[in-house]
Structure 1
């Protein structure tokens, strides 16, 4: 009796399985969309920071940055 009840409880119909898979796929789709939105926001912020004067001042001040070679820098 218990074995028969347990086997009926474990059986999953194809409709139930399809609904579970759709729900899981929807959750992952939401995560992917959030990641894409964050990527574009970071890209826009990076572009804005690259256009600021602070970055340009850093590029122009080459005298503050030591050479990459330890020897032969005469």
Structure 2
């Protein structure tokens, strides 16, 4: 008798299962939407930072360091 009561208590109807799956899917959908919004915000911020002069002021002239004391050319 106890086995029958226990097995009936653990049964889940299709309606209950559907409701649980909808709730879980909704939570994951919210997380995905938040991640997409953050991705676009970070992309816009990265684009704005790349357009500043911080990366354009780098001296790009080549310097030959092979004549240093490490190579014995003194």
User: Where on the TM-score scale, by shorter chain, does this alignment land: which range?
Assistant: 0.7 to 0.9
Unmatched 5+ stretches in structure 1: none
Give the C-alpha shift of residue 66 in structure 1: 6.2
Paired positions, count: 65
- For 2:51, the equivalent position in structure 1 comes to 51
For 1:53 and 1:62, locate their aligned partners in 2 and report how far apart those are by CA, in whole Å: 14
* Inter-CA distance 36–66: structure 2 relative to 1 (3 Å threshold): farther
Q: Is 1:28–2:28 an aligned residue pair? A: yes
TM-score, normalization by structure 1: 0.78
Q: CA RMSD in A?
A: 1.9
Could you say which structure has the higher helix fraction? 1
For 2:54 and 2:24, locate their aligned partners in 1 and report how far apart those are by CA, in whole Å: 45
Runs (4 or more) in structure 1 with deviation over 3 Å come to none
Unmatched 5+ stretches in structure 2: 67-74
